Structure 1
Amino acid sequence: MKQVQVQTGGKLYLAGEYAVLTAGQTALINYIPICMTATAKLAQTTKLQSDMFTYSASRKPDPNYQLIQASIDTFETYYGQSLPKFELDISGKLEKDGLKFGIGSSGSVTVLTIKALSVLFNQDLTADRLFKLAAYTLLKSGDNGSMGDIACIAYQALIAYKSFDRKLIAEQIRKHDLKTVLDMDWGYEIELVQAKLSADFLVGWTRQPAISKDMITAAKSLIDQTFLQETEKEVQICKEALLSADKNRLKDSLQKVSDLLEGLSSAIYVDKLKSLKEAEKGLDIIAKSSGSGGGDCGIAISFSQEDSQILLDRWQDAGIELLYQERWNHD
């Protein structure tokens, strides 16, 4: 009997978080290959299993399995006929000791479910089509996020993501069928960014959970035109610096983005994120919070392997765990 296995990871923002919630703004988002796995196979009865829960579900509405079920519904509509019976097993919680990493598990689950079914039922999806189907699912479920997380997870790369008018597309979803909506130009842009710098990209986990929705709501009300314009300017500089291997411009622009976030809301840099940032002092490193802030993860880009080690020692002393590390263009 046919069985398939697929994986999706998480994401972290380099720059542009909060601003990207406004249509037309850009964010730089890096793919984090800490993965969730989906195993799918044809079966006698449809059974959904996730290691987040102690029980399995069917297609019958279940609040815990709501996102997985909504993703299945979207794929079934796309498939154009009732899906044969299947088993879907999802594992890998993107968490440790019951604490979430904050690298995008809900977005990952949506992309993962659609990806698994597309492989099982021989539907060859491009990264863009996978992104649109996942975004459609989340918009239909009333999600208010920028969709940058699923763009990054669908493309599995460092991307520059320009957000679209989600309210407008949500209206189109209410009015039209899936095919019509998928064929529309939503107005987003996704560009793969190949970092040309020689650097270490480091992710520090504070073990303090951020309450994203509350944080976003509070900070969102403080976003003004100046914040948006300044952030967009720095995000574009940051992107160009990555592409042209301009270390000083990259450090400068990420520092400005960090200052803009701190100016937006003091709640973004909570104590441990402050320590994560301050650990860069005197080192050839730029560090900042990532995503909604208020906990979860921060990032650092280091231009010296010796300095990377000093930073990691400082993080350890501050109770910050190295969650992920990758090398850009080291010999």
Structure 2
Amino acid sequence: MLAAVALVAAVGFGARAAHSGVVVDGTFDGVGAVIALVSLAVALVAARHGAQALRRQETNLQEVAARLAVAVLDETRTARQQLLGDHDRTVDVRFVLRPAPAHTAAGAGAGGRLGEVVDYYRDLRPRRLVVTGAPGAGKTVLALQLMLRLLSRRTPDDPVPVLLSLASWDPDDDLGEWIARRLRDTYRLPAASARELVRARLVLPVLDGLDEMDADSMPGYASRAGRAVRALNRYQDADGKAGLVLTCRTRTYTVLEGLRGVWAQDAARVEIRPVDAAGAGGFLRARVADPGRWQPVIDELERAPTARWPAACPPPGA
């Protein structure tokens, strides 16, 4: 409205100037006055239209992100349920911080538990988390739990966490383009919308299975995993490293850390601790429908307090 008024006023003033004459530095320049004022009004109109277009684009991106969040939430619930054997409970595993040789994210605490992972993650600056652990320790379960909690608390400006298998990524390809293709192929997003979501950093990549990128459990500097970590370090936000979550077996990540600085920079690396016998026994008692059936297992755990139960593997037939 303001730009339109300015345009009308400019034309009216210009017409009067042309009729009555305008003296600029002693020289009549009515036409110049009209041109200058009309140009100003046109610039105001263009700026207003540009701002409106940016607002529409921002709104559209937020709407696309909201729809994506609904689809991801449904998929994540299903994936978690499958991992837990159609049950809604898991062992509340502990994790501890394993500081990298350098560049640990600010705000990283000493550790926490599965139920606290979303608060732990939200305290990080930048929000970059590496989850390590032994095979079956519960790395993927923890990543899914984090995704569910982030989605349940999500605001329109928050990125949508999306689980992506690193085994399908060629680290020589641009990470953002690969993420956009996965959004298009998995969630049927239009290619342009997928790219814009990634560019706006409205997608939080949850990258599962760095250790699955190579057949060798001790990958070298030029391995796919090594190249992937270096590519992740180049993944930028407006003011630094972009947020991400990465899972990897402890042994593989430790090997990579020893290779000339191949670790996720500005990230908090946490390691999932094994479940002790007391924790496993307590979980079984609370979880199973027929405790008597599992009493021999519980008794064995009590007799062997150093035994370990894989956190990600629920009791069969529980």
Relative to the length of structure 2, the TM-score reads 0.24
Report the structure number with the largest CA radius of gyration.
Answer: 2
Higher strand share: 1
